[in-house]
């Protein structure tokens, strides 16, 4: 395994928290992700279901988890099903978890093979008063892909229509928002690897470099340091492309006058880092570029300090938007009259700062959330204000990952250069 996984104690705690929230007498059934085909006989790189990994620590396809805390026998309260290997599978695909290795990784003592699931499940279904299952209920998800959970739910509704299917997602989202110390450790490692890549980039970027060369360097550093790769498609956007929020073609030449806006993060042990930096290709900001950079930096720093327990997201965002409006006024990008007459649903600042300020971070880059709950220790947020000025040919976004603690915000990327002076000094040393 490329990364060092979290200890089984983490996944034991996660299961205990979930089962404590279950209705009396209910069971729960969770599935890993499967390989997804794209063309011919090829499949996309396997990515584990985040909820399944959160509960088991198992990073492998074709697995299942059955939880039944009120089972009459202790060995039935947690049952893990893994893919059965064979000499042929070992030759063609390599290592798969043995039952003993699955127990070591997950802390689950009863481990069976997936081909035993149907018989086991049908023999014990009548003992349960309902069945918790999870589906992709992420607020940003707009794609429907049938998963093992869908297939089993459809079967249950067809063959056992009186068996209630209960939603596991609300509780899992609430739990995953609050990271355990072991999870913060994994996030810190993802951030550390991301820092290594950024520092390499500072020594590499110069006029004439292609965006995809920068992407290649980042990818190399990630893999060299045991990351599984990028947490998301990297954005390496020079000049006007920095005003395209999800630009990831990364095929332009970096010119002397350009700023280079980069948004990338390492994926380590399934946990995501998420960094944005904007640097001058020449090594020095122009006066106007620095003026805008400093404005974004001030909004970033002020927003970070507001990530404290008890704060509501709506108040946090409102304060940052008011601050951004002040900065845009000072930059001459909007006028006082525009602010006075603005549509509350489309305020003036939105012309230059059109995306969200923060999102939860964890097993997913846009991690699960419950937006209306107050901030609490253990939550991890990005902070990513930006100003995008197409008419001037550049955009600036600055983003760090911040852990909320009882004593205030802990910037997980505090060691990654952010101030304009620091960026210039490091680039001058190329």
Model pLDDT for residues 183-208, shown as the tens digit of each residue: 999 999 999 999 999 999 999 999 99
Question: Domains in the chain, start-ordered, CATH in brackets?
Answer: 8-177 (3.40.350.10), 181-428 (3.90.230.10)
Predicted local distance difference test score (pLDDT) of residue 219:
98
Residues 6+ apart with CB under 8 A from 254: 205, 206, 207, 208, 209, 210, 211, 214, 238, 239, 260, 281
Nearest to 390 by CA among 339, 341, 354, 347: 354
Query: In a structure prediction context, what are the per-residue pLDDT tens digits for the chain, which is 430 residues long?
Result: 899 999 999 999 999 999 999 999 999 999 999 988 889 888 889 999 999 999 999 999 999 999 999 999 999 999 999 999 888 888 898 899 999 999 999 999 999 999 999 999 999 999 999 999 999 877 777 677 889 999 999 999 999 999 999 999 999 999 999 999 999 999 999 999 999 999 999 999 999 999 999 999 999 999 999 999 999 999 999 999 999 999 999 999 999 999 999 999 999 999 999 999 999 999 999 999 999 999 999 999 999 999 999 999 999 999 999 999 999 999 999 999 999 999 999 999 999 999 999 999 999 999 999 889 999 999 999 999 999 999 999 999 999 999 999 999 999 999 999 999 999 999 999 8
Residue 408: strand pairing partners:
405
Give the three-state DSSP class for 229: strand
Predicted local distance difference test score (pLDDT) of residue 102:
98
Predicted local distance difference test score (pLDDT) of residue 38:
87
The model carries a pTM of 0.96
Predicted local distance difference test score (pLDDT) of residue 141:
73
Judged on CB neighbours under 10 Å (0-12, 13-18, 19+), 226 is middle
Pairing, β 400-405 against β 110-113: unpaired
β-sheet with 266-268: strand ranges across: 229-230, 266-268, 271-272
Predicted local distance difference test score (pLDDT) of residue 86:
87
Predicted local distance difference test score (pLDDT) of residue 240:
98
Predicted local distance difference test score (pLDDT) of residue 42:
87
Q: What is the 3-state secondary structure (H, E, C) of 250-266?
A: CCCECCCCCEEEEEECE
* The dihedral formed by the CA atoms of 262, 397, 176 and 63, expressed in degrees to the nearest 10: -20
Residue 388: strand pairing partners:
395
Predicted local distance difference test score (pLDDT) of residue 382:
98
The Cα angle at residue 120 between residues 173 and 156, in degrees rounded to 5: 60
Residues 6+ apart with CB under 8 A from 428: 283
């Amino acid at each position: 395994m490329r990364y060092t996984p979290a200890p089984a104690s983490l996944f034991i705690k996660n299961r205990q928290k979930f089962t404590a929230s279950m209705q009396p007498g209910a069971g729960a059934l969770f599935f890993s992700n499967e390989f997804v085909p794209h063309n011919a006989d090829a499949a996309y790189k396997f990515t584990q279901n985040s909820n399944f990994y959160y509960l088991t620590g198992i990073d492998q396809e074709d697995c299942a988890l059955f939880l039944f805390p009120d089972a009459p026998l202790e060995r039935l309260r947690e049952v893990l099903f893994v893919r059965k290997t064979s000499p042929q599978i070992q030759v063609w695909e390599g290592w798969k978890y043995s039952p003993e290795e699955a127990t070591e990784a997950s802390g689950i003592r009863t481990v069976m093979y997936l081909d035993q699931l149907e018989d086991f499940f049908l023999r014990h279904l009548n003992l349960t008063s309902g069945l918790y299952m999870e589906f992709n209920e992420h607020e940003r998800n707009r794609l429907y892909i049938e998963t093992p959970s869908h297939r089993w739910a459809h079967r249950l509704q067809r063959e056992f229509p009186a068996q209630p299917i209960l939603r596991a997602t609300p509780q899992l989202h609430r739990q995953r928002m609050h990271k355990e110390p072991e999870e913060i450790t994994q996030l810190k490692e993802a951030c550390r690897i991301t820092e290594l890549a950024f520092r390499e980039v500072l020594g590499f970027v110069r006029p004439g470099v292609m965006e995809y060369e920068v992407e290649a360097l980042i990818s190399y550093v990630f893999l060299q340091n045991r990351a599984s790769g990028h947490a998301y498609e990297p954005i390496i956007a020079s000049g006007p492309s920095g005003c395209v929020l999800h630009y990831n073609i990364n095929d332009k030449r970096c010119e002397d006058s350009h700023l280079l806006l980069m948004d990338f993060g390492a994926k380590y042990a399934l946990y995501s880092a998420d960094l944005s930096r904007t640097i001058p290709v020449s090594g020095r900001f122009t006066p106007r570029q620095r003026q805008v950079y400093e404005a974004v930096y001030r909004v970033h720093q002020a927003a970070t300090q507001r990530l404290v327990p008890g704060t509501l997201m709506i108040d946090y965002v409102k304060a940052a938007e008011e601050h951004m409006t002040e900065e845009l006024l000072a930059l001459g990008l909007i006028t006082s009259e525009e602010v006075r007459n603005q549509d509350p649903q489309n305020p003036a600042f939105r012309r230059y700062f059109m995306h969200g300020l923060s999102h939860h971070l964890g097993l997913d880059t846009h991690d699960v959330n419950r937006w209306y709950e107050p901030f609490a220790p253990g939550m991890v947020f990005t902070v990513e204000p930006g100003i995008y000025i197409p008419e001037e040919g550049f955009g600036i976004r600055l983003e760090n990952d911040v852990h909320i603690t009882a004593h205030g915000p802990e910037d997980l990327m505090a060691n990654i250069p952010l101030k304009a002076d620091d960026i210039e000094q490091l680039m001058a040393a190329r």
